[in-house]
Amino acid sequence: MDQKQMLAQMIEFNKNAFENSFSATALMQDQMEKMTSTFLDQATWLPEDGKKVLKEWTETFKKGRTDFKKAVDDSFKKVDSYFAGKTKSE
């Protein structure tokens, strides 16, 4: 087996592993967000400022998660294009 082909397969495996892990983590985080939202709706003792901070924190966290996913996807695209270019030139 050609080394470049083997490396491309390893990268594809890592990409799939990342996608599966990220999806599972995102699903768990979304479920926790729903639970937290329900808790905040029922927590009459918590001041509105506290609820607002927690909701802003959740939105910031979701944005960070989205930005991280985009950065990783962009990196995988760069690696894919690198290997595609190497294959075409040879």
- Let me know: does 8 contact 86? Beta carbons within 8 Å: no
Please determine, for residue 85, whether its predicted confidence score (pLDDT) is greater than 80.
no
Domain limits of the chain?
46-90
CB atoms within 10 A of CB 27: 10
DSSP, res 44: T
* Residues ≥6 apart with Cβ < 8 Å to 18: 72, 76
pLDDT at 1: 65
pTM: 0.79
pLDDT at 78: 93
pLDDT-derived band of residue 74, with 50, 70 and 90 as boundaries? very high
pLDDT at 77: 94
Please determine, for residue 88, whether its predicted confidence score (pLDDT) is greater than 90.
no
Mark out the alpha helices in 3-47 (DSSP H runs). Answer: 3-42
Q: Which two tokens stand for residue 80?
A: 């894919």
| Best mean pLDDT range from 1-5, 13-17, 56-60 | 13-17
CA distances in angstroms from 3 to 11, 53, 79, listed in the order given: 12, 51, 15
pLDDT-derived band of residue 31, with 50, 70 and 90 as boundaries? very high
